[in-house]
C-alpha cells in the first residue's frame, strides 16, 4: 500500500513535466527536391537517405526538401535553389504541387507548434488538426505574411521569421499551406511555440517541483510508519 501511494505520486510528477520539444531540420537528407516521406518514421527519404530517426512522423508525398543556396559547395543542387540564409542549413522544406503539404504525427503532440519560414512573394498559412491528414478539429491556425526579399545578393527567399502557436488538446497533423513553390519552412518544432527550443512553462515547472517535494515527504513518512 505504501509503495502504491508513492508510485501514484511519481506518476503524477511524470505527467506534470512538460513534453520535450522535437525539432525537424531535414539536414540528414542529402538530396534536394526529394520527398521527405518516412524519413522521420525510421524510414528513408525519396533519395534513399536514412533511415532517419523513428519519431512516428510521416510527410505527404508533395513535401520535399530544398537546399540552401549558400550550402553544398557549389553543387548543382544548391545552385538552382532560390532560398538562402536558412536557420539550420543546408536543408529546408517546401512543396511544388497542391495547396498544402501535410505532416502526420501518429503519437500526437501538445502544448504548441512552431517553425521558421520565408515567403518573399505570396503569403502562406498553417493549420493544426486533431486528426491525421488534416482532419478532425482545427486546434490552431496561423497566417504567414510575406517577409522582405531585399537580400544583398541572390537568392530571393532569404529572410526568415520565427513563428509559433499554442493550443489545447492533442494534435496529430499539420497542413503547411500557401502557393506551391512560394513558402519554405525550417526547424519545424513540436511541443513548443518557440522554434528550436524546449518548452518550460513556469506553471508546470512549479507544479512539478511541488509534487517532487510532496513525494519525498510522503515517502519518508510511509517508510517510518
pLDDT surpasses 80 at 2 = no
**pLDDT at res. 147:** 92
Q: Which residue has the higher pLDDT, 31 or 5?
A: 31
103 in Cβ contact with 198 (< 8 Å)? no
CA–CA dist 163, 129 (Å, integer): 17
Superfamily assignment of 22-199 in CATH? Galactose-binding domain-like (2.60.120.260)
Question: Which stretch of 5-9, 61-65, 152-156 has the lowest confidence by average pLDDT?
Answer: 5-9
Q: What are phi and psi of 13, to 5 degrees?
A: -65, -45
Domain ranges of the chain: 1-18+201-225, 22-199
Q: What percentage of residues in the chain have a pLDDT greater than 70?
A: 76
**pLDDT at res. 73:** 62
pLDDT surpasses 90 at 32 = no
**pLDDT at res. 151:** 76
Q: Indicate the pLDDT class of residue 31, thresholds 50, 70 and 90.
A: confident
pLDDT surpasses 70 at 67 = yes
What is the mean pLDDT of the segment spanning 128-152? 93
**pLDDT at res. 209:** 43
DSSP character string of the chain? -HHHHHHHHHHHHHHHSPPPPEEE--TT--SSS-B-TTTTBTS--TT------B-SEEE-TTEEEEE-TT-STT-HHHHT--B---SSTTEEEEESSSSEEEEEEEEEE-SEEEEEEE-SSS-EEEEEESSGGG-S-EEEEEEE-------SSS-SB---EEEEEE-SS-EEEEEEEESTTS-EEEEEEES-SSTTS----HHHHHHHHHHHHHHHHHHHHHHH-
**pLDDT at res. 7:** 44
Q: Indicate the pLDDT class of residue 13, thresholds 50, 70 and 90.
A: very low
pLDDT surpasses 80 at 70 = yes
What is the mean pLDDT of the segment spanning 28-50? 95
pLDDT surpasses 80 at 222 = no
Amino acid at each position: 500500500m505504501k509503495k502504491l501511494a508513492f508510485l501514484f505520486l511519481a506518476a503524477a510528477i511524470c505527467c506534470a513535466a512538460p513534453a520535450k520539444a522535437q525539432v525537424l531540420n531535414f539536414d540528414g537528407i542529402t538530396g534536394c527536391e526529394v520527398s521527405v516521406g518516412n524519413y522521420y518514421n525510421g524510414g528513408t527519404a525519396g533519395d534513399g537517405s536514412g533511415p532517419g530517426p523513428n519519431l512516428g512522423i510521416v510527410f505527404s508525398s508533395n513535401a520535399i526538401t530544398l537546399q540552401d543556396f549558400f550550402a553544398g559547395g557549389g553543387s548543382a543542387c544548391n545552385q538552382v535553389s532560390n532560398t538562402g540564409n536558412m536557420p539550420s542549413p543546408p536543408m529546408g522544406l517546401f512543396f511544388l504541387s497542391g495547396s498544402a503539404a501535410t505532416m502526420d504525427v501518429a503519437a500526437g503532440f501538445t502544448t504548441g507548434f512552431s517553425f521558421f519560414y520565408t515567403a518573399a512573394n505570396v503569403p502562406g498559412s498553417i493549420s493544426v488538426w486533431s486528426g491525421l491528414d488534416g482532419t478532425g478539429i482545427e486546434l490552431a491556425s496561423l497566417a504567414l505574411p510575406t517577409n522582405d526579399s531585399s537580400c544583398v545578393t541572390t537568392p530571393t527567399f532569404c529572410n526568415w521569421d520565427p513563428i509559433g502557436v499554442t493550443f489545447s488538446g492533442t494534435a496529430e497533423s499539420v497542413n503547411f499551406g500557401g502557393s506551391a513553390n512560394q513558402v519554405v519552412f525550417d526547424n519545424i518544432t513540436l511541443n513548443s511555440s518557440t522554434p528550436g527550443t524546449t518548452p518550460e512553462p513556469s506553471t508546470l515547472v512549479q507544479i512539478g517541483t511541488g509534487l517532487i517535494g510532496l513525494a519525498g515527504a510522503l515517502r519518508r513518512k510511509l517508510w517510518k510508519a
